[in-house]
Structure 1
Amino acid sequence: MTKRQSKLRDRRIVPAGSIPDADLQALAAKLRYEGIATHKLHPSDYGFIPPVNPRPTKSPCDELRPLLRAEAATLFRQGVLAGMVSLFGADGTPKYVWAVDDDGEVYEAKTKPPDTTYHGYRLGEDEPEMRRYIRGEWSKRCP
């Protein structure tokens, strides 16, 4: 698996409170989590054809446990509503959204703007600084 670049400028969360709640609500209504077969070991209820197609260079979101689509979508929405998003591109959407599950696992969702459909993956132990950063922000914004 190749290591992601956690020091990339666009891979940072916007400052807490910098996006009004009404704008976060509108953003949550606009953005969608769909998932992608290249980040799955278990097809679960995603309906991928073929069922799974994990790439060895991709970080699977379900490496530790199966992650149902509804849970992934809920985590994604929680991340958006908490403002756990990167800076917005010219199209008005963030490239990244982050969330932390009840077990403390960190997930990153990504899109290619201007697309508003995201796929996600778990940030692995190979990115300890990024995991710490996301968990710290999550604990401040989602007590």
Structure 2
Amino acid sequence: MKAFLQIVVVFSAAILTAACQSGPPPPPTTEVPVQKIVLDKWVQVRLCIVGSNTIDGKFINSKLCAQTQKYELFGGPVIKLAGQHGYVGSPSPQEAIKGFSAMDDGITYTLNCEQLPKVSAETGDSFHCVFNGNKRPLIKVDITYP
């Protein structure tokens, strides 16, 4: 419930900010910087990144949260996704490698990940993920799980 409220607050603020801006939205971008998330514990640790882009003439906000969960209890790590109007899905990294897609308010959100090579035996699995809206980049992130 707390996570849901956090998402609602973030998107409410984003909607208010967008509504208060005068003039047209910024032009769409074709490239966004790659950010990094490193998770080091297995019990419900979550780190989030926000991103945005102009899609079909509207300024769209998004959020990607990487979350660890013990395999024995919860089935392993997930990537929680939110679009302009909130939650759009929670695929596992393995599901995202196959490709994840969801539609919300006329926007097709996609998440595609690829597993990165391990840098050492002590590190966990790492993934390079791209979260798009209508084929426009919203968030690019490298995620490392414990």
Question: Is the TM value for this pair above 0.5?
Answer: no
Q: TM-score, normalised by structure 2?
A: 0.28
Higher relative contact order (CA 8 A, sep 6+): 1
Greater Rg by CA: 2
Q: Greater share of helix residues, 1 or 2?
A: 1
Q: Greater share of strand residues, 1 or 2?
A: 2
